[in-house]
Structure 1
Amino acid sequence: MNWNKLTQPSQIEDIKALSEDIPVMIFKHSTRCSLSSISLDRLLRNWKDDDHKNIVPYHLDIIENRELSNKISQEFGIPHQSPQVIVVKNGISVYDNSHFGISYPEIMGVIKN
């Protein structure tokens, strides 16, 4: 999986603009949390090589970028969680889930609608 690193607040506007053409997935990950690592691994095991044609994945390390994580939660009107997946289409969050609720089939279903 070719992650785009999410490290700058200015990238939020880039993500919103990009999501007008193709959905964007943000994975908020804590390197200190075993549940976060398990959720990330589950997502990666299901990820198909061609999925990048249908969704652009971003990875946010919340330990290094906690303020940015909070800004994303505020920008999209969702509570902060970790781990957390947010799918953005047309500039708004259309899916968010956390912990073991993160579901590859649900993510793929949302982007097809």
Structure 2
Amino acid sequence: MGFLKKIFGSSKPNEEKTLPWQTFTQIDQLKDIENKSKTKTQVIFKHSTRCGISRMVLKQFVASYNLTESDLDLYYLDLLNYRDVSNETGYKFQVMHESPQLLIVKNGVVVAHASHGAINSLNLEQFV
């Protein structure tokens, strides 16, 4: 049972951890993310709300996340509802779209990115 809990997370609401997500819904936010990345690491999580794999990776990401708001800014992009924002993000940062996908932006460029299970293998601390 512990194995399944580790993969899929807890079903008890009081055990759920929340992260300091900023919603990413407008193409204009790309310029802000680029500018802010010059002084603080920006992270974009592109999530497909209809995909079980994306949901599982997101839960694992949340469960293992151990940074603070002062370390980096964390953006959540629902790529099904904001497909144009997702597409423009790929063009702007020259990263081919995948889902789920994590982009790490520093000094105006993507310094690392990963998709699917590789997202949880990234060591975010090294980019702070």
Scaled by the length of structure 2, what TM-score is found? 0.82
| Larger-gyration structure (1/2) | 2
Identity of aligned residues (%): 33
Aligned residue for 1:97?
114
Would the aligned equivalents of 1:7 and 1:60 in 2 still touch at CA under 8 Å?
yes
Query: What count of residue pairs does the alignment treat as equivalent?
Result: 110
More relative contact order in 1 or in 2 (CA 8 Å, sep 6+)? Answer: 1
Query: Aligned-pair RMSD on alpha carbons?
Result: 1.2
1:76 corresponds to? 93
Match of 2:54 in 1: 36
CA distance in structure 1 between the aligned counterparts of 2:82 and 2:94, rounded to whole angstroms: 18
Equivalent residues of 2:114, 2:122 under 8 A apart: no
Aligned counterpart, 2:43: 25
Counterpart Cα distance in 2 of 1:6 and 1:83: 15
How much has 1:108 moved relative to structure 2? 2.2
Query: How far 1:106 moved relative to its partner?
Result: 2.1
